[in-house]
Structure 1
């Protein structure tokens, strides 16, 4: 049996854990630079506030609380939820910051076990969750949505599958994107039931092997196993909108250097080397991009900083610039590099020590001078809550 745990209104819920007064008001979480809405509480959803709405639409609404995203808090709370879940199942696949698949052993009362897990997660972390269990991962995803509408837990049995599929649009199926939805509708398939009952040879030719596996999952036949090891990313992008527009090269190079540092750290965390770096800078009218192919793949931060700054210098014209970013791609494995043909590759020891030291603290203790000191270009987060769980200075005080 497969199950999916989904944290309810996760970003908003994290804020409510440390400020219970927020439970009584409509709460929205804003994106970097406080530009648009990226998360909403149940009360905010009831007002018709939509994901992606510009924040300025509600700036004069005194009945709505707007807060800047506090990703340090959300990431740590996510880790606590997943750690709690690991007490109940050895097989866990972290699907996103607020979702995880896990397996349930045979021969137990699934509804009782899922209810127990839900209660313990809320007790230990303060986060309420919905859990859906079903014979396959695709059906578990649909079941979790039903769980949100009921008492937080829904277990789908084999006999209940036909009714669920009849009431489910194909656009709601995990793995069926917008393009595939349009293609299926053109062929007269509008519901999950119609998709599940389609002819095997015909549907496989239409949507491919992976799509056909989704069809089998809808029929209750498991095809997607719990993946305990996250797939390595094929590209890494770090970008931000600036807190204030940039008109000079120096702060622009500071920004892309900082993005290169973050990207390089993520690259090393998955034990990869990059053979390609792309730098882009944007005004209100256009985006300019510089592509650089590396002769030798690397994960060395100083080398990537240098390349990022070179790219920014090539692109720079009269601004003002509102956004920039760095992308790394063309990855190879660290242990697959050829030290004979790549004699200039730097030893990774220094970067490993750097990562270990910075990982011990809530913010980087060792930084590169190229990132700048003031960093006035950084995104605005004027409404952010404290880092309650990752900073000693921000620990919640009870008086």
Structure 2
């Protein structure tokens, strides 16, 4: 048995937690560079605001309906996400943090009333963290996703939907709102193909011939159909599978023309990517860097290039990765274009300590692992970028535009809330 715990309008809920005046008002949180909507309050949804709706289309609503727009405060959201996960790990034998606002819980062997457990989960997370959540309980992960969706959509459920009863499963799958595009793992392209076959709702997918689904699509679509029918195919992942590629890319708040500013951006992205690499205890053997102008740049002013730089030896040292990224950047940079985006991608991973050195390659930096461990521990305790490479300390005019960002209430010593 599984439970999916899903934070309600997570980014908006975090903003309201530290700014109570926002409660009851229409609120949206914008994406990087304040581009488009990525989270909406119920009041904002009632105004017809859509996910991914561009910022410029909402300006009139600020004046006419008091809409509040907030810039993304990723550090704050990540910290609150971990606090929610910490509470949930105390309430179930196993927990998989599926995304920043969702966690799967394994309830196998849990005694007692699971519906009451779901309500206790809601109560504890709200009391100890301050974030409202919905809980979906079902024998498969796919059904628990739909149950969680239903728990947020219908107030009468009081935030908990229990689908252990096969009759209740069928009733939920048969509802008109349970279209096939709401099913976990069914993307836009699969939805279009399924609709063309006459499969428009979840109940139709659950009852469709399994062998035909595997032949026309793949094994995962077949397993999804089996899960909708109550057959367990996807298990809980206690720890995330190590990524085979790590990317850190950002669009700039303003157009960048100078190589020096691009070097600062690439150095910062390289450091962040190397932190993620060390977090999964691996080393990389290839660094790719890219730069590009805006998507809508026309004619000769448009420019996009990338370069791949092999590492002299496998490394997760920020200094090595930044050095390789800077070399790639200098190889592709040309003067003139208005650069709108850059990024660093790490590839070709090997296990930390599980590789054979090249006898003819340069020797790795001495004590690299110890230096990076100390750096990561200081940043973990004192806040990100407390200790960083000098290359990233200069003016950050290339950084993201976040004009409406709230304070980092829990992740910055200088911005902690003050009670008078």
TM-score by length of 1: 0.95
**In structure 2, do the counterparts of structure 1 residues 395 and 372 end up closer, same or farther at CA, with 3 Å as the change threshold?**
closer
Q: Tell me the secondary structure at the aligned position of residue 39 of structure 1.
A: strand
SS of 1:373 mapped into structure 2? coil
Given candidates 307, 317, 326, the residue that maps to 1:290 is 307
Deviation readout 1:319-377 (Å, 9 max, x if unpaired):
22121111111222113221355663334222122111211112322111222422221
Report the secondary structure of 1:307's partner residue: helix
1:13 paired residue number: 13
Whether the aligned pair in 2 keeps the contact of 1:339 and 1:345 (CA below 8 Å) is: no
Q: Deviation per CA, 1:255-296, whole angstroms, max 9, x where unpaired?
A: 111100100111111011112221111212342222223353
1:147 corresponds to 2:151:
yes
What is aligned with 1:212?
222
Which residue is equivalent to 1:361?
382
Match of 2:173 in 1: 165
For residue 373 of structure 1, the aligned residue among 385, 389, 394 is 394
The 8 Å contact of residues 169 and 191 in structure 1, kept in 2 or not, is answered as yes
Give, in whole Å, the separation in 2 of the partners of 1:128 and 1:394: 24
**Correspondence list, 1:1-399, <5 A:** 1-60=1-60, 61-62=62-63, 63-104=66-107, 105-148=109-152, 149-150=154-155, 151-156=158-163, 157-167=165-175, 168-284=178-294, 285=297, 286=302, 287-317=304-334, 318-339=336-357, 341=359, 344-346=363-365, 347-399=368-420
CA RMSD of aligned residues (A): 1.7
Deviates more, 1:134-143 or 1:66-75: 66-75
**Range that drifts further, 256-265 or 225-234:** 225-234
Cα distance in 2 for residues equivalent to 1:344 and 1:163: 65
Deviations 1:129-152 (A, max 9, x none): 000101111000000011112311
**Structure 1 residues 50 and 316, CA, compared in 2 at 3 Å: closer, same or farther?**
same
Deviation of 1:80 after TM superposition, in Å, equals 0.8
Paired residues in the alignment total 399
- Structure 2: stretches of 5+ with no match in the other structure: none
Moved more, 363-372 or 19-28: 363-372
State the secondary structure of the residue aligned to 1:140. Answer: helix
Q: Is the 8 A contact 2:7 2:131 kept in 1?
A: yes
How many Å separate the matches in 2 of 1:301 and 1:338?
A: 21
Q: Following the alignment from structure 2 to structure 1, what is the Cα–Cα distance between the partners of residues 394 and 311?
A: 29
CA distance in 1, matches of 2:255, 2:187: 36
Query: How far did residue 90 of structure 1 move?
Result: 2.1
CA contact (8 A) 2:313 2:358 kept: no
Which whole-Å CA distance do the structure 1 matches of 2:231 and 2:399 have between them? 49
Indicate conservation of the 8 Å contact 2:211/2:222, yes or no.
no
CA distance in 2, matches of 1:47, 1:314: 49
Distance 1:175 1:304 in 2: 34
Deviates more, 1:6-15 or 1:269-278: 269-278
Per-residue deviation, 1:112: 1.0
Between stretches 350-359 and 255-264, larger displacement belongs to 350-359
1:135–1:158: 8 Å Cα contact kept in structure 2?
Answer: no
